Amino acid sequence: MTTTNSIIKVDDLQTSFFTHKGEIKAVDGVHFDVPAGKTLGLVGESGSGKSITSLSIMRLIESPGKIKGGSITFNGEDLLAKSEAEMRDIRGNQISMIFQEPMTSLNPVYTIGDQIAEAYQIHQGKTKKEALQKAVDMLELVGIPSPKARVKAYPHELSGGMRQRAMIAIALACNPQLLVADEPTTALDVTIQAQILRLINRLQDELGMSMLLITHDLGVVAETCDYVAVMYAGKIVEYADVNTLFSNPKHPYTVGLLKSLPRHDIDQEELEVIKGMVPRPDELPEGCRFAPRCPFATDLCRERLPDLEDLGEGNQVRCWIHTDQWNGPEVNVKDDYRSAEST
């Protein structure tokens, strides 16, 4: 990664789950960094390991999961070397996280005011009263109407969109430097999705934070992100700034994802989807993990795993096609891509 001045740098992160069936590598040597004040989108289908990556950054992986190796450098310090107590001071304070399910991510037996105040109280050492005042301010900031009344509401009294706003208020109460948002809009209605995305964008500008946005939705990426890392089966397969990625994608998987987006500029007979599924982390293929679904795959692809290489055009790609060793026919990934079945 060439970007300097990054807020967080993830290097060779490996997170595995140790079950009775053996080790399952959910995240297998992931590299990326989030430039300060910018948004990195971490994109992939479900099962690609992106949520595990975000929980690894928070050090919230639960047994039987374990961060096996690599480093996560935040403000020049390795998070993986920190004690649990040091990590607690960072969570909710310098790095905050919002989750996919607003319906279940709030504690049903406490008011949302209490839940916002809690983080503020823990990290800023304020009294309960000050913290509750802060909660009202935060509710106002995230655009919840009549915040003074809502601060006393229980989660079940709020709609899904309102709950996600409350989650954002919790996450931002201590003005974090980095916000990790794991599919923050996936569970919401389409109209609400747009509102929440706009809110997140606005708050990011106002508060000057960096963001790691985890999503399966390239539409969301286009609206919010500055950089994009595409993840597939536990590995990053392409990394680029958002414009480059959309105009000049290099990895067949990225192209496949882009082709499966509905487009408004041309008439489409039908959306193209990538055939097949992400392989389960316990049955990873040898070689390139996308090979079984890739329309261009050769024997080379099926035998050996390519490295993530900088192409010098703003892209870093993990694909044999863009290397000297490519021995298949000349291809232009973007133009020649057809989903595997139609070739």
Partner 1 sequence: MFVYTIRRLIQTIPVLIGVTLVVFLMMHLIPGDPAQIMAGERADAETVELTRDRLGLNDPLPVQYGSFVWNAVQGDLGNSIRSGRDVSAEIVPRFWVTVELAVYSTILSVFMGLIAGIISATRRNSISDMVIMVVALFGLSMPNFWLGLMLIQYIGLTVGWIPVSGWGGAAVILPVITLGTAGAAIIARMTRSSMLEVIHQDYIRTARAKGVKERYVIYKHALRNALIPVVTVVGLQFGVLLGGAVLTETVFAINGLGRFVVEGINQRDFPIVQGSVLVLALLFVLVNFIVDISYRLLNKRIELD
Give the nearer residue to partner 1 in terms of CB position, either 179 or 297: 179
Helix axis angle, 112-124 to 160-172, nearest 10°: 10
In the list 74, 99, 253, 296, the residue contacting partner 1 (rule: CB under 8 A) is 99
Q: Quick one: which segment of 109-117, 242-250, 293-301, 335-343 binds partner 1 (CB under 8 A)?
A: 109-117
Give the nearer residue to partner 1 in terms of CB position, either 100 or 315: 100
Q: Which residues contact 230 (CB under 8 A, 6 or more apart)?
A: 43, 44, 236, 237, 238, 239, 245, 251, 253, 254, 257
Residue 240: its H or E element: strand 235-241
In the list 44, 92, 161, 279, the residue contacting partner 1 (rule: CB under 8 A) is 92
User: Rule CB under 8 A: is residue 167 a binding residue for partner 1?
Assistant: yes
Q: In whole angstroms, how close is the CB of 269 to partner 1 at the nearest point?
A: 40
Q: In whole angstroms, how close is the CB of 108 to partner 1 at the nearest point?
A: 5
Strand partners, 212: 40, 180
Give the nearer residue to partner 1 in terms of CB position, either 90 or 242: 90
Pairing mode of beta strands 77-78, 65-74: antiparallel
User: Rule CB under 8 A: is residue 101 a binding residue for partner 1?
Assistant: yes
User: Rule CB under 8 A: is residue 118 a binding residue for partner 1?
Assistant: yes
In the list 46, 60, 128, 268, the residue contacting partner 1 (rule: CB under 8 A) is 60
Cα–Cα distance, 100 to 162 (Å, whole number) = 14
Give the nearer residue to partner 1 in terms of CB position, either 92 or 306: 92
User: Rule CB under 8 A: is residue 105 a binding residue for partner 1?
Assistant: yes
Cα–Cα distance, 27 to 14 (Å, whole number) = 5
User: Rule CB under 8 A: is residue 158 a binding residue for partner 1?
Assistant: no
Q: Are 69 and 15 spatial neighbours (Cβ–Cβ below 8 Å)?
A: no
User: Rule CB under 8 A: is residue 172 a binding residue for partner 1?
Assistant: no
User: Rule CB under 8 A: is residue 107 a binding residue for partner 1?
Assistant: yes
Give the nearer residue to partner 1 in terms of CB position, either 3 or 124: 124
Cα–Cα distance, 260 to 275 (Å, whole number) = 11
Q: Quick one: which segment of 29-37, 42-50, 69-77, 90-98 binds partner 1 (CB under 8 A)?
A: 90-98
Give the nearer residue to partner 1 in terms of CB position, either 108 or 329: 108
DSSP secondary structure, 77-107, as one string: EEGGGS-HHHHHHHBTTTEEEE-S-TTTSS-
Give the nearer residue to partner 1 in terms of CB position, either 118 or 238: 118
In the list 10, 119, 188, 240, the residue contacting partner 1 (rule: CB under 8 A) is 119
Give the nearer residue to partner 1 in terms of CB position, either 1 or 158: 158
Residue 179: its H or E element: strand 178-182
Q: Are 179 and 210 spatial neighbours (Cβ–Cβ below 8 Å)?
A: yes
* HSE (side-chain half, CA atoms, 13 Å) at 296: 23
Q: In whole angstroms, how close is the CB of 57 to partner 1 at the nearest point?
A: 11
User: Rule CB under 8 A: is residue 108 a binding residue for partner 1?
Assistant: yes
Residue 160 is encoded by which pair of tokens? 């899904």
Buried b or exposed e, range 149-163, using 16+ CB within 10 angstroms: ebbebbbeebeebbb
Give the nearer residue to partner 1 in terms of CB position, either 88 or 322: 88
* HSE (side-chain half, CA atoms, 13 Å) at 150: 23
Owner of token pair 């990538």: 274
In the list 19, 46, 75, 104, the residue contacting partner 1 (rule: CB under 8 A) is 104
Residues that bind partner 1 in the complex, under the rule CB under 8 A: 58, 60, 84, 88-93, 96-97, 99, 101, 104-110, 115, 118-119, 122-123, 154, 156-157, 167, 170-171
